[in-house]
Structures are given as structure tokens and as C-alpha cells.
Amino acid sequence: MRVVQSSIALLLAALLAALLPGCAGTGPAATATGVAPVPDSAPLDPVSSPQWAADMARFAAEDAAQPPPAHPVVFTGSSSVRMWATLAEDFPGVPVLNRGFGGSQLRDATWYADEVAVRYAPQRIVLYAGDNDIDAKRSPEQVRDDFRTFVARVRRDLPGVPIAWLAIKPSPARIAQLPAQQRANALVKAEAARMRAVDFIDVATPMLDADGRPRAELFGNDQLHMNARGYALWRGVVAPYLR
């Protein structure tokens, strides 16, 4: 009888030991590579504007008129992507596809992830967003959470595709928002470091002068959107990630 009781005790101890790791905390468990999976995402707010439906229709018409390259590097996000007119010239030999829609926020890229990225079966996604979010009084924490949700949405259909986030750029027109932009960048950078195949590309720091202010010579007349010098700077920072 003692032998049987001892065996049962050992079996219960083994079962308890197996269950404990899953109950040890509320954070995400590490993968075999030591990198945490994408955390559970928060509920996504509605799109910021109904006008994006017209942009999606325009993308569909462009695809019908001229089929996009197979497995492209998709650049998407707000006007800093949409206005990158030299994208193909800046990355020769890379099958790039511009699917930026100006004025959009990060959550819009998530709502329209299929139209701007997933359906192209991209080899990589490069996202610029957050600039308009901060301007619309969304908090850095909301930007971080919306970034997490974007990654989770893409991973649902494209579990292995690399994703890169272009840091929110500093601009003279929005210099009052610089502290919030920098906090959002720091939060997203920390979040990206926990995820598999997600890069944080710091295009923001080189756009600051020695005093930590946005370099006016990188911008057009509105001091919000970049000029050719601004895009040349971005090209130099982004190129190594596309090799």
C-alpha cells in the first residue's frame, strides 16, 4: 500500500510541476528563441475617417490597371509614405509597392491591412504611422497598443513576414508634440524588441539638430512634410533593412 501511495504522490507532483509554468505569471511566455510572441491586442477603435474607402478603391483600380510586383516590399501608412515619390528609385532592385494613404492613423492601417498589405503576399512590410495619431490627441500608449494590434492582424494571415516600423518623425510644424512623439517611439521600440521579425527603424534621431530640434532643411514649405533631402535621409537609414 505504501508503494502505491508513494507512486501516486510522485505522479501528482509531476503533474503539478508541469502545470506551474503556465500559471506563473500573466505575461506572454517566451518562445524557443527567447523572444516573446505578439501579446494579446486591445480592442481596436473605429477607423479615423470614412474617406479611406476611396483610397482602397483607388488601390484596387491601380492593381487592375497594372498588376503589382510579386511578393513586394510594401510601404504603407500615412502621407510620409504616400508622398515618397522616389520610392522605386531609392531602392533599385527591390520590388517596392507604395500603399500609403495620407492623413491616416495607425488603426486605419490595421482596419485596411488586407487592402494595403496582406493581399500582396509581401516579403516585408514597412509601416509609417503615429504622427497623425499624436496630432489627434491619441496618447503614446494608444499608439503602442495600436501598433501591437497591427502586428497581430498581419500575423493572423502572414505569420512569418517581417514588419518594420519607421519612427514618428519630428517636424517643425509639430514641435510641441515632440515629447509625446518620442515617448510613443520609445514604447513602440520596446514592444518591437519583444516580437519576432519586427524592427524599429529610427529615422527620427537623424532628423534632429544638435539642440534636439527638427532640422528645418529636411522639410517643405509647410514644415510638416519632407522634401527631397528628408527622403534622402530616410533612404540611407532604411536601405540596410531591405537587403
Helix axes 178-193, 140-157, angle to 10 degrees: 40
**21-58 residue pLDDT tens:** 333 333 333 343 334 444 555 688 999 999 999 999 99
Q: Report, as an integer, the average pLDDT of 115-124.
A: 98
What residues pair up with 97 in beta bridges, in sequence order?
74
Q: Is the pLDDT at 90 greater than 70, yes or no?
A: yes
Q: Report, as an integer, the average pLDDT of 141-159.
A: 97
Pairing of strands 73-77, 163-166: unpaired
Q: Report, as an integer, the average pLDDT of 4-18.
A: 41
Q: What is the pTM of this model?
A: 0.84
Could you tell me the CATH superfamily of domain 45-242?
SGNH hydrolase (3.40.50.1110)
Q: Report, as an integer, the average pLDDT of 124-128.
A: 98
Q: Is the pLDDT at 113 greater than 50, yes or no?
A: yes
Query: Taking the C-alpha atoms of 112, 115, 118 and 121 in order, what is their torsion angle to the nearest 10 degrees?
Result: -170
The mean pLDDT of the chain is 88
Q: Report, as an integer, the average pLDDT of 143-153.
A: 97
Closest among 126, 84, 130 to 104, alpha carbons compared: 130
The residue whose grid cell reads 514641435 is 175
Which pLDDT value is given to residue 39? 52
Q: Is the pLDDT at 14 greater than 90, yes or no?
A: no
Tell me 185's DSSP state: H
Kindly list the domain boundaries of the chain, sorted by start residue.
45-242
Q: What is the DSSP string of 100-160?
A: E-TT--HHHHHHTHHHHTGGG--SEEEEE-SHHHHHTT--HHHHHHHHHHHHHHHHHH-TT
Which pLDDT value is given to residue 128? 98
Q: Report, as an integer, the average pLDDT of 133-160.
A: 98
Closest among 162, 153, 167, 67 to 122, alpha carbons compared: 162
Which pLDDT value is given to residue 199? 98
Q: Report, as an integer, the average pLDDT of 166-170.
A: 98
Share of the chain above pLDDT 70, in %: 83
